[in-house]
Amino acid sequence: MATNRTFTMIKPDAVADGHTGAIIKMIEEAGFRIVAIKKTLLTGERAGQFYAVHSERPFYQGLCDYMSSGAIVPMILEKENAVADFRKLIGATNPAQAEEGTIRKLYAKSIESNAIHGSDSDENAAIEGSFFFAATEEY
């Protein structure tokens, strides 16, 4: 059964380009409630842990370098059908294939620097949320 939470982070390119506010506005206007939020940095090692599932992929090292290149804004979000609805809001991994009006269509630069993360399952949403936030940081 679908839970009502997902995890996201605004990635370094979008934060550095000053799109944090615009992206949060889109997220709230789409009906998501922000449960937890902060601005932080990932070390290369922590980025590697977060994306461990991709460790055999050719883009893994580049992805870890990119994700540790600047500040990110992780968030836990709440809404009915959160995981699927949020994936719809952000659009395809490759912005060239993302639908009009999606966050990645508007703000992503490339398949790697694609502005925002969205969990792909309820299970991963819970794991990823607790990677960044303690239960006491959730409101």
Site of interaction with ligand GDP (CB under 6 A): 59, 62-63, 93, 111-112, 114, 117, 120
Q: Which is nearer to ligand GDP, 35 or 67 (CB)?
A: 67
Is 57 a known ligand-binding residue? no
54 is catalytic: no
Other Cβ atoms less than 10 A from the Cβ of 70: the count is 14
Q: Which is nearer to ligand GDP, 59 or 137 (CB)?
A: 59
**Identified catalytic residue from 8, 9, 107, 117:** 117
Q: Which is nearer to ligand GDP, 37 or 111 (CB)?
A: 111
φ/ψ of residue 69, rounded to 5: -85, -10
Is 87 a known ligand-binding residue? yes
Min dist CB 33 to ligand GDP, Å, is 22
Question: Rounded to whole angstroms, how far apart are CA atoms 101 and 55?
Answer: 31
Question: Rounded to whole angstroms, how far apart are CA atoms 25 and 14?
Answer: 14
Min dist CB 59 to ligand GDP, Å, is 3
Min dist CB 63 to ligand GDP, Å, is 5
Question: Rounded to whole angstroms, how far apart are CA atoms 23 and 136?
Answer: 25
Give start and end residues of each alpha helix (H) in 1-139: 12-16, 20-29, 44-50, 60-67, 82-90, 103-107, 122-132
- Residues designated as active site: 117
